[in-house]
Each structure stands twice: as C-alpha cells, then as structure tokens.
Structure 1
Amino acid sequence: MAAPTYDWRNPGPAPTEGPLADTFGRVAGDLRISVIDKCNLRCTYCMPAEGLPWLEKDEILTVDEIDRLARLFHSLGVREFKITGGEPTVRRELPEIVRRVCALEGVDVSITTNGLLLDRLAGPLREAGLRRVTVSCDSLLSHRYAEMTRRDAFDKVSEGLEAARAAGLDPIKINCVVIRGTNDDEAVDFARLAREGGYDVRFIEYMPLDAEKTWERDKVVPAEETLAAVSAAFDLVPVAQDSPQPATSFRFADGAPGALGFIPSVTNPFCESCNRMRVTAEGAFRVCLFALEETDLRAALRSGADDPAVERMIREALWHKWPGHKINHPDFVRPDRSMSMIGG
C-alpha cells in the first residue's frame, strides 16, 4: 500500500507518536540550542559594529529550562545536540549546560564557538563531557581577521585551538565562511592548516543572515569553486558517508591528517535531507534556519505546560516544515533575525 501524501501547507493534525517527522518523511534528529544571543565579536557579515539589542537575563532560557527541553527532545529520538549562540562561551553556566546535555544516553554533543575563550574553557568543557568542538574562523591573516570581526583577536583563536587540542577535544572542526573579494583567496591556506594541524576544515557558502541585510549574491563563492581551488593544490579523495550530510567531505590522498568539507548551502542546499531543528536563546523553536515562523516554547514552559503539551507543540511545528528555503527563488523572503539571534 502506497504511503499517504500530504500538502505541507494543510497536512492535517500532526502524529502524536512515532519519530519526529515532517510530511516529507524527514526525521529530525539534530537539535541546535542557542544559550545566549550576545557575542564578543562583531563580524561584518553578522551584526553591526555597535552590536544588537541584547536579551535581558530573564528572557533567555535558564539552565533548568534548557535541561528540560534537551531531555524532552532526547525522549523523542534526538541524539545530536549542538550548543550555540551568539557566542556560547560568554555564558557563565556553559560547562553546567554541557554537563547536563552530555549526561543523556547515547548523545553526540558539540559546541560552535569563535574560540576566543577556549584557552580557559576547553578544559572545563572537556571535564563536563564535551568530546568535540567547532571553531568559527574566517581568515588566517591577523589583519584580515581583525577587519572581518572588528576585533584584533586572531591570536586568541590560535590559543583556543591549541587549548582544545591539549584538552583532548577531537575532532576539532574549523568553519570558514567564504566571501568573494574578502577571504576567497585563503582556501588553500586553510587546507594546508588542516593537513598540518589535523583539523577538519569546512568551507561554507555565504548566506543571507546578516543583521544589516547587506548580503549580495555576487559575493557567494560556490562550494564547487572552492573545491576546485583546493584540488589544484592537493590531491583529495572523497569520504564515503553513511547518510546524507550538509558537507561533501574529502581527505588527503597522501594520507596526511585532517579533512575538508564543502557546504553548498546556497548553490545546492541540502533541504531535502535536512534533519535539523533550532531553539533560540529565548526559547523560540525553529524548524528551519530560514523559517519565517517560530513556536514559543519558553512561554509554554513558564506557564506550567507539561511535557506532553510541549511535545505536541514541537510535533505540530515540525509537521508544517516547508520543503526548503527559497534562496534561489524570486519570492525568497529572508528571516527577520540574523544568524547570531537564531543560533548557528
């Protein structure tokens, strides 16, 4: 008997049990939890020099609220958790948050950070149960890093990477957003860093998620172009993947350590296999990075809703997940929030 088909715009009531799935059969197993909206950098492709209006302390989810949501999503089959921000390391309770999420059975927990505070937090985070980390770094040139982030802090990132290694975090991933005319000439240098340091470097296409809304399509460097530039310098071999992943991954043919990933989030998005969900720092549930609608989980938690009631909200939101974002369509509407407000 053929599986039923649904109109995602009017699919009827969401299932009350079974996997966390949408009407396209995508099962959501990856949750990104933002723990704070503040950041200690001012990246030009993310926020204005003066920053953004920050949330008040009582507006962000408490440690107990994050713990409760993590446990609920875990009970619904989620096993991949990424702790994000803003910049998660500026939240003082981060090690305790990591400890609680890592205590869940069978989970893969990581954080995404700019690395500036890893020199003192890598050890405590490792002790809390963290096994791996992703560090965002868009240039290996100190002066360019300062221009892109509006902070002269490249040395702190380097110290953070070394601290992560010393603490035993592995793998250490480095995310690089490639922007034409800004840092697209550094792809080979990042590949060399992966070889020499054993890092997993991932090149990400520039997306329209900046607060000042200055994104231009002409500044997008297709992942295929970046791959071609790196392949001209190093022989690469593809890495077989058991399931669809955002990044097309490669290792070095000569057996050198490190790995490379190329994420075509604009030119060839992975929407049809996306299994990601997000909770913002103030508890808004988003079923897509580019979603135009959110579900207020914080209000439910603070009004006394029990777990079954919150679960119904989650299932209903996911059941209405759209086929994918429309960056490449003329009717694309970008979300009001920037990346730092959504959570990376």
Structure 2
Amino acid sequence: MPLFDRYGRPVLSLRIQLNTTCNFKCFFCHMEGTDINGEELTPDEIERIVKISHDFGVNKIKITGGEPTLRPDIVEIIERIRRHINGNISMTTNGTMLPKIAKDLKAAGLDRVNISLHSPDDERFHFITGTWMLKRVIEAVRSANDAKLTPVKINFVVLKDLNVKDIPRMLEIAAENNAILQLIEYETDREGESSEEYRKYHVSLNPIEEEIRKRSIGVEYNDLHNRPRYLIRSDAGLVKVEFVKPQRNPDFCAHCTRLRITSRGEFKTCLMRSDTNIPFKGITEENVLKDLFRKAVALREPYWKPGDEQPIEESDNGEILDLK
C-alpha cells in the first residue's frame, strides 16, 4: 500500500537522479535540484532503495541526471531496477548516447524516454545547450522509436523571445516521429523569480495552451500533476501536445505523487526544496531505510499552495503563438 503525506498525496513513483554530470550546458537547467558534484549511488544502492520503495507501493520509476546515459553502468542499473518494478520505467535524456544504446536499454527493461530538444534551429539550439548536437538529438528520437522506447516524449522548455517561434516546427517534428510534444514552463523557486535571467526568459504558457486548445480535436489528462494533453493536427499529421506549468500552480503541486532521490543518496521531498533532504547513502539496514523513507514522505509539502497563484511580474507579455 502507498504511503500518503500530510496533504493526502500518495507516493506512487520515484525520480532517481543518477549523476550531476552532463555534456550539455542548458542555462535554465536545475539539475534536479542539486548543484554539487559528488559520489554517486552505486547500482547496489539504487537497487536497494528501489526495492524498499516498491514495498511501500511505488511501481513507477523515472531516471534523470545530469545526463544519465553518461554513466557506463546505465544498462546494469536499469536491469537491477526492473527486478523489482513491473510498472513503467522511463528516463529523461538529451539523447546524445541513445543511437548507440537504445536497444540495450530496452532489453534491460526501460519502457520509454523523454528526450530534451529545445529548438529545431541550429543557432538557437547551440545558444540554449552550448553544443552543436541538434542532428544527433533528432537522430536519438528516431533511435528511441526504432528500439520501441515509446511513447517518446520531446521535452521543450519554452523561452520568451528565444524559441516560442519554433513551436510550429516542433509540432511537425513530433508528428513525423510519432512523439508527444511536451511544452514546459521555465520554472524556479521563489528567490529565483527576481533574477534577471528568469525575468528575461520566463513566459506564461497560458496563451499558447489556449491556441492549442482551440485547434485540438481531443483532450486527455496525465494522472501526474493533472496535466492536459491535446490532440491536434499539424502539417505533418496528428500529434499530442502536453503542457507542464508548475510555476505558482497549486493544482500542479496538489497532484504530485513523486519522491526524489539525489545522486548523492538523499531523499528529496520537492524539487524546489533542499532543507528537507534526508541522507541515506551508506545505510544498508532495511528497517532503517524504511524509517527514513517514511520520514521523507511525512515531510512532503506542496511548494505552491492556494493563494500563491498571483501573476508573476514580467518585463513584457512575451510572445503569443500564431499557429494559423
């Protein structure tokens, strides 16, 4: 049976950060809430914590980084997780290693991938990621499909005055590759809202979602965070578009069912908080780990609550998507 926090939210999934190393340099990356390189969890430690979480009803795992495919033992880690989880195992990746290892990951037990692709334009892609690997990432989407790591989701962080204009082309790329396009709001914590970078690039997804909604021929909802997913027609065919709007969104937080694991071996109760992290690295006693798991669940708290919905002041209104 799953454990519930004080706000009635069950913990049904685990988000495991394998490393803080990445071959991209995306300026908005929150690195799953950590910013210090350190000793990484071993495959044994990862398997142990997955087994314990499964004992508490967790049957869904998301693998993240850094860039998780940079770990040479990534296939072994997936194999070990699959021993205890019969639900969905997915991974968020920049895709640069996928053409080489996609089939091995599938054979090990990985179900599907989210691939980060924040612009289809070479110059804008380089500005965002610090690399010229756009073609390789697009190749990764195809490799993931070939390996049946599906449905593939394309993660696209929407950035004001930078890549909003790319969304129509991204719809086509998603349709061409039978992928779900996930439009993600640039998010930060309360302190980060006043930063120059955030104010420069954050844009509300509401007008974009409204335009997509008008064109949709159907809508469904993702259980996680109650996110809408629209089915629309693009020039390249049908495509599903999902919106991830966490910033000052109490409804988003109210539907969160994840507990996070940092690469340093900590339970992390919320992406936006580090003051409630609970270290467990080096602990092997099952009963002690279970007690720490219970404590972490008890400390979970929605970051945004009712009353936090006030609009965020921006330097301008950003861009309105024109899909006509």
Q: Normalising by the residue count of structure 2, what TM-score does the alignment of the two structures yield?
A: 0.85
On the 8 A contact 1:174/1:201 being kept in 2, the answer is: yes
Which blocks of at least 5 consecutive residues in structure 1 are unaligned? 1-17, 331-344
Name the SS for the 1:176 alignment partner.
strand
**d(CA) in 1 for partners of 2:36 and 2:242?**
34
Instruction: Give the one of 307, 311, 326 matched to 2:286.
Output: 307
The one-letter amino acid of 1:129's match is G
- CA shift, 1:196, in A, is 2.4
Provide the residue aligned with 2:20 in structure 1. 37
Provide the residue aligned with 1:89 in structure 2. 69
**d(CA) in 2 for partners of 1:77 and 1:204?**
28
On the 8 A contact 1:191/1:230 being kept in 2, the answer is: no
On the 8 A contact 2:155/2:181 being kept in 1, the answer is: yes
Name the SS for the 2:156 alignment partner.
strand
- CA shift, 1:167, in A, is 1.2
Provide the residue aligned with 1:54 in structure 2. 37
Provide the residue aligned with 1:155 in structure 2. 135
Instruction: Give the one of 167, 186, 189 matched to 2:166.
Output: 186
Instruction: Give the one of 17, 27, 51 matched to 2:10.
Output: 27
Instruction: Give the one of 253, 263, 266 matched to 2:244.
Output: 263
**d(CA) in 2 for partners of 1:103 and 1:123?**
18
RMSD of Structure 2 on Structure 1 (CA): 2.6
Which blocks of at least 5 consecutive residues in structure 2 are unaligned? 311-324
**d(CA) in 2 for partners of 1:214 and 1:307?**
46
- 1:78-115: CA deviation from partner (whole Å, max 9, x where unpaired): 01100110000000000111111123242210000001
**d(CA) in 1 for partners of 2:218 and 2:265?**
38
Give percent identity, aligned residues only: 29
- 1:107-148: CA deviation from partner (whole Å, max 9, x where unpaired): 210000001111101111111111211001110111110111
The one-letter amino acid of 1:27's match is P
The one-letter amino acid of 1:173's match is K
Provide the residue aligned with 1:316 in structure 2. 295
- 1:49-100: CA deviation from partner (whole Å, max 9, x where unpaired): xxx7532xxx211010001011110111001100110000000000111111
- CA shift, 1:229, in A, is 4.2
The one-letter amino acid of 2:262's match is T
Aligned length: 300
**d(CA) in 2 for partners of 1:108 and 1:24?**
25
Name the SS for the 1:46 alignment partner.
coil
On the 8 A contact 1:26/1:274 being kept in 2, the answer is: yes
- 1:282-325: CA deviation from partner (whole Å, max 9, x where unpaired): 111111111232000114x2xx4x11211111111221222324
Instruction: Give the one of 280, 286, 290 matched to 2:272.
Output: 290
**d(CA) in 1 for partners of 2:302 and 2:11?**
14
Note the 1:208-227 alignment, pairs <5 A.
Answer: 208=188, 214-217=196-199, 219-227=201-209
**d(CA) in 1 for partners of 2:206 and 2:140?**
30
Provide the residue aligned with 2:155 in structure 1. 175
- CA shift, 1:198, in A, is 1.3
Q: 1:162 to 1:53 in 2, by over 3 A?
A: same
- CA shift, 1:260, in A, is 0.7
The one-letter amino acid of 1:132's match is R
On the 8 A contact 1:188/1:230 being kept in 2, the answer is: no
- CA shift, 1:29, in A, is 0.6
On the 8 A contact 1:290/1:325 being kept in 2, the answer is: no
The one-letter amino acid of 1:122's match is A
Name the SS for the 1:216 alignment partner.
helix
**d(CA) in 1 for partners of 2:220 and 2:212?**
19
**d(CA) in 2 for partners of 1:198 and 1:110?**
17
Q: Normalising by the residue count of structure 1, what TM-score does the alignment of the two structures yield?
A: 0.80
- CA shift, 1:244, in A, is 5.5
Specify which structure has the bigger relative contact order, considering alpha-carbon pairs within 8 angstroms and separated by 6 or more residues: 1
On the 8 A contact 1:249/1:262 being kept in 2, the answer is: yes
**d(CA) in 2 for partners of 1:323 and 1:279?**
17
Are 2:260 and 1:278 equivalent residues in the alignment?
A: yes
The one-letter amino acid of 1:273's match is H
The one-letter amino acid of 1:298's match is K
- CA shift, 1:219, in A, is 2.7
Provide the residue aligned with 1:12 in structure 2. none
